[in-house]
Structure 1
């Protein structure tokens, strides 16, 4: 006896699968950008500063002018920091739950547009397990995509409820516009929340408008004169001004935070900087084929895409021709399907609309691609996949696909379809669960990156960062390999200078840093952690070589460039110690401890400096806390005992 499942059961089953597939990310640590945005971000350590976070850019604690403004995502990190500190499991759990909620949202929104239970279920299933989502879900900083889609789904749900409320009022011949506008107001608030989560959510109202037009196609566009159709279309479009209202506070807050609409030159590498709009469109015809590989195959996956591992050329090639034919074919398919298969038309339109901002065509970005950028657009692929599978299943069951040459029964054809769809979805599940393990830590992630992309320097740099303290000489090999592949790799050069300073090779470090400082851009947007650290290391090398006055000036420059950058503060503090300005060094370490109250190392160093300055009581206070934070450090315990003895004999 066959059993039918209710919509709620199907939705809960798919949501449960989404949670199960990503459950192994709970053991992951902080990886790649998680370390800067969460683990060592001084801005999230005090939840009471949450209103202040809306005046800061996403990377403001490290660099100004990055063009990234995601305060709502940062607010969630601040709230989580107040709950579980820097324990990564809690942050990963939040990401899993948000992804599960988005899976449920895909299912529910499709049902609101009267998609069949099978189409909604298969679409939500594909969205739940697609491997390209691992970047967004398995990395904590994927939170922006997850939150943006969550609030975008709420916007969609509220807008449909407004339409339904208006229809019910007309049916009763008793218009009650208050309820309609309440729902539209809720949609506007949800849209503002989506914008404050991630910038690329700005395109969501266009996708919603497309869905509403396709939903009203028969009543509005299929019959009547053109004037009647245009009037109907205007009536449908007019309420969308409500969703333009949130743009006013959004762009005001962006300007308050000092973030424009693009990355400022000199802040970081922008692969397509300097190209015109037309040139970027031509380049992305070929480069954009990577999007389709990631969608259809989901392998190999990489944490970083730029001009070193993606083709960037203006020359017309077979790849550009293929990209032109593929994109043009999808546009034609949208036009051919909008009447009879509106879900297909919507899926294609949703793909192009939500991909527009991150496509590098309208605005050049700091990377050519980002797998997490596909989190929202991939919903279009999931809908098309679900519709195609369910359409084929239905036609096979009705015997409309004739296979007389093999004398196949409809049940046999359906079984074959089930196996093909099952194998595809099963391969997605397999790749997702295994890719989650790559995100366990920087070593596993970038070891895999080196395997799949051995000619890219980023993998070698990040592996070097992981082993620099335990294996400095081996780390040097990795950094030198990165510079061999890309001589402009600034991070590798900077870290090699730090290794030289740690080994006492001050003259080579000085020369390397001087060469790097010649490339410092004029009118540098501040703060700039990178250039601050460069000046701080330069100060250390100068001080060690006896040039104390120049070293002091460089250390002051480092503080001016990035007063809230922990690594630069740590390095500048030691530079001040080297030039004999211990009182300044103490103030630097006080600043560092206030930024990172749970970091035992800087607090212990502050205690030692206070003890050497003769303030044993203050040293005892700091070292007592440091001993609690670093219970396994015998050195801290020894310094604490010295502080207690001196405090006992001081008047």
Structure 2
């Protein structure tokens, strides 16, 4: 809430830095503060990255404006620009889609200097002015060097990583993605204008993904073309509206699924920053109508012979505008307050999800996951309901298989896994954590049924499919221990320790296996780490004591 309040204050302050009228800045900040589409970003801890990204992006913007205002003091200029670059790097490290903020800042600075850059003087003078505005942006571009270096260290590029999630538009061409998002993009405008209904999941299940033209895609094309035309028509006389439209398109571009296909088609939290453009445009529209009413009243006062009817018309116009704004803001406040209740916890959120979207199986799966530890049988009911909605849903089948294994229903788990493996894609893109987990669970079931060789083969397949997947590695490790492949199990747990250095269970399991193979000193080291990470686990303490005794007895 404090981060969101800081962003609201930054929005108002930055608009005033550009000499935007207090009324426009106030309405824009108010709409941004209470808009229901921001609930996911503000009420959900994952959305904190959006809040931090906008906070540091706003500080970058403020520092850049301060540098422009200090143009007579060269040292101050570069100090402020350096501060802007640092803030931009912090915004990037908070959220990747903040990479577009310098482009939006450039648009604002160009619109401020539009007369020098486009409207007045000789062509060479205008080009020189445009270059003067643009050249200094290399300072912000320099911040991209450490950012992408850090991404390379983390093994990340610019594409969605395999195994992170189901990438709905993976495999479609750039042109096909653009056509699909013309229709999907209508959801953005519904969320901005109405803010209802709100959902935690937008994917190919509740959104049509069709790369062919239809009337909805034509409507989306006309809407976008109309906004582009409005930008072109307003950049000279009403630069604030042009900026609002440009800011919307620029900040939405990365999360639009057009340049890069993402793990979901629409994310409400992704609209947190782009919605600034909507708030500014709405603020300007309110100010425009209000100013027109004031202008009309002033003209009437100047004309003493004007009838009372025209005075009443001006007053009614202002009253209607106030009522309209109050109704809009009031509806946003009400919907935000109601949506906040949905985000209280996972159970409440996904209970609401299946109410508003009963044909989406993920709602039932996620609701089952919130109950699986306390009420496994009720969780099973939700998983089975998800399969009735979508029989091919892999996640529900996996979770039911896990419950079958915990209930020792190995034959039932085997039958379920074999039905899933029949549908395995012939040309699977590797690594695949999902299919690696399926093979790992199949190996676990075969091991429990005494089929050692088949279990070992499936375990090897799982390792090939998901060599760095924690979940498959855990299951494979258990399987290898069951069938007596202790050395192979040690190597698997070494991978887990490297992948999850702060997780106590891999250290404990590795320590136990090393102790059983006679390497008491190495076992003591791993078990000590596990005990430090989980001091409340008595079984780890017991094994650590055994390792210490054996290590002391060894020469």
Question: Secondary structure of the equivalent of 1:399?
Answer: helix
Hey, what does 1:102 align to over in structure 2? 7
Matched, 1:317 2:222: no
Alignment of 1:58-457 (within 5 A): 96-166=1-71, 169=72, 176-263=73-160, 268-399=165-296, 408=312, 410-457=314-361
More moved, 373-382 vs 322-331? 322-331
For normalisation by structure 1, the TM-score amounts to 0.73
Change (3 A) 1:496 1:405: farther
Which string of whole-angstrom CA distances, capped at 9 and with x for unpartnered residues, describes residues 408-452 of structure 1? 264543333222212211221221222122122222111111111
Q: Which residue of 2 aligns with 1:543?
A: 447
Q: Tell me how far apart the structure 2 counterparts of residues 521 and 197 of structure 1 sit (CA, whole Å).
A: 38
- Say whether the 8 Å CA contact 1:100–1:128 is kept in structure 2: yes
Q: CA RMSD in A?
A: 3.8
CA distance 1:547–1:113, change in 2 (3 Å): same
Conservation of the 8 A alpha-carbon contact between 1:107 and 1:123: yes
1:255 and 1:471, CA in 2 relative to 1: closer, same or farther beyond 3 A? same
Superposed displacement of residue 350, structure 1? 0.4
- The CA deviation at 1:297 is 0.7
Question: Where do 5+ consecutive residues of structure 2 fail to align?
Answer: 301-306
Is the 2:182–2:217 Cα contact (8 Å) retained in structure 1? yes
The whole-number CA distance in structure 2 between the counterparts of 1:620 and 1:257 is: 28
Cα offset, 1:377, TM superposition: 0.3
* 1:644–1:377 CA distance, 2 compared to 1 (3 A): closer
Paired residues, what number? 539
Q: Does 1:481 align with 2:388?
A: no
Name the structure 2 match of 1:491: 395
* Cα drift, residue 207 of structure 1: 0.7
Distance 1:641 1:370 in 2: 47
Measure how far apart 1:407 and its partner are. Answer: 5.9
Which one is further off, 238-247 or 266-275? 266-275
Structure 1 unaligned residues grouped into runs of 5+: 1-95, 170-175, 631-635
Question: Aligned in 2, Cα 1:404/1:275: closer, same or farther, shift over 3 Å?
Answer: farther
TM-score, normalised by the number of residues in structure 2: 0.84
Alignment partner, residue 82 of structure 1: none
Q: Is the contact made by 2:297 and 2:311 (CA closer than 8 Å) also made in structure 1?
A: no
Q: Offset at 1:485? A: 3.1
- 2 CA distance for matches of 1:207 and 1:500? 53
Contact residue 443 and residue 458 of structure 2 kept, 8 A:
yes
Cα deviation code 1:430-487 (max 9, x no counterpart): 2122212212222211111111111111111111222234443433332233233334
User: Is the deviation greater in 220-229 or in 237-246?
Assistant: 220-229
Structure 1 distance, partners of 2:90, 2:193, is: 31
| Structure-2 residue corresponding to 1:38 | none
- Are the structure 2 counterparts of residues 230 and 525 from structure 1 closer, same or farther at C-alpha, using a change threshold of 3 Å? same
Alpha carbons 2:160, 2:263 under 8 Å: kept: yes
Counterparts of 1:574 and 1:646, CA distance in 2: 21
Identify if the C-alpha distance between structure 1 residues 134 and 596 changes in structure 2 by more than 3 Å, giving closer, same or farther: farther
* Contact preservation (8 Å) 1:151, 1:191: yes
Larger RCO (CA within 8 A; separation ≥ 6) = 1
Q: Contact (CA 8 Å) 1:604, 1:626: kept in 2 or not?
A: no
Query: Do the aligned partners of 1:620 and 1:647 also contact (CA within 8 Å) in 2?
Result: no
> Would you say the 8 A contact 1:532–1:568 is kept in 2?
yes
Distance 2:188 2:254 in 1: 14
Change over 3 Å in CA distance of 1:404–1:220 after alignment to 2: farther
Q: CA deviation at 1:362?
A: 2.0
Q: Alpha-carbon deviation of 1:567?
A: 4.1
Structure-1 separation of matches of 2:25 and 2:547: 72
Deviations 1:6-59 (A, max 9, x none): xxxxxxxxxxxxxxxxxxxxxxxxxxxxxxxxxxxxxxxxxxxxxxxxxxxxxx
